[in-house]
Amino acid sequence: MPKIDDSALVQIVDAALADSARRSGDLLVCKPGCFQCCVGVFAISQLDALRLRAALDALESTDAERAGRIRSRVAESLARISPEFPGDAASGLLPEFDGPSDEADAFEAAFDVFANDEVCPVLDPATGICDLYAARPIPCRTFGPPVKNAEGGLGVCELCFHGATSEQIAACEMHPDPEHLEERLLAELREETGAHGQTIISYALRG
């Protein structure tokens, strides 16, 4: 397995989350056992995939039974979603586009409705808690607080910030990676291994 140390990135993102949570106070209601954000497929980077695989491999040596349950849920998830996967089912990669195009629009439309009811296979259904929480992808770490979306607006979890004004939401904005460290680490990973593009958690953990 390639050795790309992204611990600094994780620390930066987690510190940004903690700062936003402090400013958000009771408006941010995320807590253990709340897992709405764990339902529905989303794209993750190759860094996220690498981190998840390393964590699952490590879990094999400390709790083989729990690791086995994750692997079983991954296999079950892939059996359900692979036939409709809007990417390359052999590699698990989502398509990459150089810019706006009809093909890109068609993919976005397909991905928006793909596996929206699929529960993340890393979620323990008995506890509602992530079995690989310390290694969770960056999108998981940034979901909940106000974060700028592709259109420049602030996206928040629909369960949070009820009754808050736009000014209150803006005051809690999270800046997860201001120095664009993730981008540099992804370039380093691609140069070392050739790995590039995005995937989803079930494919990232495929045996």
pLDDT tens sequence across 56-114: 999 999 999 999 999 999 999 999 999 999 999 999 999 999 888 999 999 999 999 99
**Burial of 81 by CB count in 10 Å (0-12 exposed, 13-18 middle, 19+ buried)?**
middle
**pLDDT for the residue numbered 3:** 74
Q: Which residues contact 96 (CB under 8 A, 6 or more apart)?
A: 196, 197, 198
Phi, psi of 202 (to 5 degrees): -60, -40
- Comparing CA positions, the residue from 175, 173, 172, 199 lying closest to residue 186 is 199
Number of CB atoms found within 10 A of residue 46's CB: 22
What is the structure's pLDDT at 167?
96
**pLDDT over threshold 90, residue 4:** no
pTM for the whole thing? 0.93
CB contact at 8 A, 157 and 144: yes
Residue 188, pLDDT > 90, answer: yes
Residue 2 has what pLDDT?
A: 67
Q: Are 163 and 26 in contact (CB under 8 A)?
A: no
The pair of three-digit structure tokens given for residue 116, joined into one six-digit string: 């929206």
Residue 134 Cα distances to 5, 45, 64, 122, 144, angstroms: 14, 16, 17, 12, 17
Output the CA–CA distances (angstroms, integers) from residue 117 to 41, 124, 157, 169, 204, in the order listed.
8, 16, 17, 28, 19
- pLDDT of 207 over the 80 cut: no
Residue 151 pLDDT level (bands cut at 50, 70, 90)? confident
3-state DSSP assignment of residue 72: helix
Q: Is 161 helix (H, G, I), strand (E, B) or coil?
A: coil
- pLDDT for res 186: 97
Q: What is the mean pLDDT of the chain?
A: 95
pLDDT of 185 reads 97
Digit-coded pLDDT (tens) for 99-141: 889 999 999 999 999 999 999 999 999 999 999 999 999 999 9
Per-residue confidence (pLDDT) for residue 152, from 0 to 100: 85
